[in-house]
Amino acid sequence: MPRMKKLAILGSTGSIGTQALEVVREQPEQFQVELLTCGNRVDLLIEQALEFKPNAVVIGDAAQLPRVKDALFPQGIKAYAGPEALEQSVAMEGIDTVLTALVGYAGLKPTVAAIEAGKNIALANKETLVVAGALVTKAAREKAVNIYPVDSEHSAIFQCLAGEWENPIEKIVLTASGGPFRGKSREELAAVTKAQALKHPNWDMGAKITIDSASLMNKGLEAIEAKWLFNLKKEQIEIVVHPQSIIHSVVQFRDGSMKAQMGLPDMKLPIQYALSYPQRLQTNWPRFDFTKYPALTFEQPDLATFRNLALALDAMDRGGNAPCVLNAANEIAVELFLKDAIGFLEMSDLVEHCLAHVPFTPDPQLADLMASDAEARRLARERVPSAWRS
């Protein structure tokens, strides 16, 4: 039997983090939690730490640190606060795999720190590769670190490639549910509300990724992530809308053969696969029943209506710091939409504005990307100043 894997779960109080802990709870002989982290949901973090007994926890909100220490010190659990503590903690000697489940750009630096420390990565933070794919994959190669994808689509591709490592990929097909607004016109989208956008038809996710899914930005970010994970060119990545979310993605090989990974929409499966690879662990989760899905349908995405996807594909094609700018502007756009400061379609306008005005850097280093990220966020806030005065 392989030895128990020791895990760090970054973002343990979010959607992916809580589901990862469900996997640990269901597979107690396989995994041991060494580190848990969160931003400011410290009550839930304390509850998780008391159950899973990690070596340490890290919180983002330093003002909450005394309360966390008071709750966890009697159990021998160390507590730290701040981004520097997070980057130092992922390098702890007892950690085998770091699950990066932080939301957005915040996941980049701790993931890089974990790679530098030689830790394998279970990557649920697609923004890490969107922002700095060239730098991150180069560092992983140099440190002989494996990056296991957690996004359901990229996990599907990874699973389809098992046993096929020597066979060149002709193309991959990323499937998209289409979100809650599939088939709607731009006129209809102009009037949609935050509450409507947060009702995904198939997946239970956090607010940011749910809005990204509704705007199809998420699929654009996934295309950029796939480029770096699987060393692909833009023309090797196809996106198809598949409303049932049963086929999670497809790999087509040079002989024309296609492999698809299928299953009910449940993030626990790709999380567990990334953590347990190369094993497939026994589960008691619900199984797919073909008789309940008499038809699986497919259609092309509407790039004219869902402009975020077109902007993301263009940024991927342009390269350099363009994906970094895209991601930063989109994070601000989603935040503003969730604050009811801009409309659904205005998110695309904001992203396009930042892509047009942040100077292009063709071969950025990490400092260049940090500067591009900051400049894109400044421009986005400047574009909607009233939202930041409230």
Convert the pLDDT of each residue in 115-129 to its tens digit: 999 999 999 999 999
Q: What is the mean pLDDT of the chain?
A: 95
Give me the pLDDT at residue 387, please: 61
Cα separation, 372 vs 367, whole angstroms: 9
Most confident range, picked from 172-181, 201-210, 378-387: 172-181
User: Taking 80 as the threshold, does the pLDDT of residue 72 lie above it?
Assistant: yes
CATH 3.40.50.720 is right for the domain spanning 5-149:
yes
Give me the pLDDT at residue 386, please: 66
Sequence-separated (6 or more) residues with CB below 8 Å from residue 101:
9, 10, 11, 12, 14, 16, 17, 20, 107, 124, 125, 150
User: Taking 50 as the threshold, does the pLDDT of residue 390 lie above it?
Assistant: no
Give me the pLDDT at residue 52, please: 98
User: Taking 60 as the threshold, does the pLDDT of residue 388 lie above it?
Assistant: no
Phi/psi at 154 (5° precision): -75, -35
Question: For a pLDDT cut of 70, what percent of the chain falls above it?
Answer: 98
Task: Provide the H-helix boundaries in 90-206.
Answer: 108-116, 127-142, 152-161, 186-189, 194-197
The two tokens of residue 303 are 């790039």
> Average pLDDT in the 57-61 region?
96
Q: Is the dihedral of CA 203, 208, 213, 219 positive or negative?
A: negative
Give me the pLDDT at residue 200, please: 82
> Average pLDDT in the 165-169 region?
94
12: confidence class by pLDDT, cuts 50, 70, 90 = very high
User: Taking 90 as the threshold, does the pLDDT of residue 242 lie above it?
Assistant: yes
The architecture in CATH of the region 319-390 reads Orthogonal Bundle (1.10)
Residue spans per domain, the chain: 5-149, 151-265+286-307, 319-390
Residue in the block written with tokens 């698809």: 260
106: confidence class by pLDDT, cuts 50, 70, 90 = confident
> Average pLDDT in the 255-279 region?
96
Beta bridge partner(s), residue 176: 241
Give me the pLDDT at residue 206, please: 81
Angle between helical axes of 217-229 and 307-318 (0-180°, round to 10): 30
Give me the pLDDT at residue 358, please: 98
**CB neighbour class for 367 (10 Å; exposed up to 12, middle 13-18, buried from 19):** exposed
The 10s digit of each residue's pLDDT in 15-24 is 999 999 999 9
The 10s digit of each residue's pLDDT in 309-344 is 999 999 999 999 999 999 999 999 999 999 999 999
pTM of the model: 0.94
Give me the pLDDT at residue 384, please: 83
Angle between helical axes of 322-338 and 366-383 (0-180°, round to 10): 40
Residue 319: C-alpha distances to residues 130, 208, 222, 310, 316 (Å) = 10, 24, 15, 14, 5
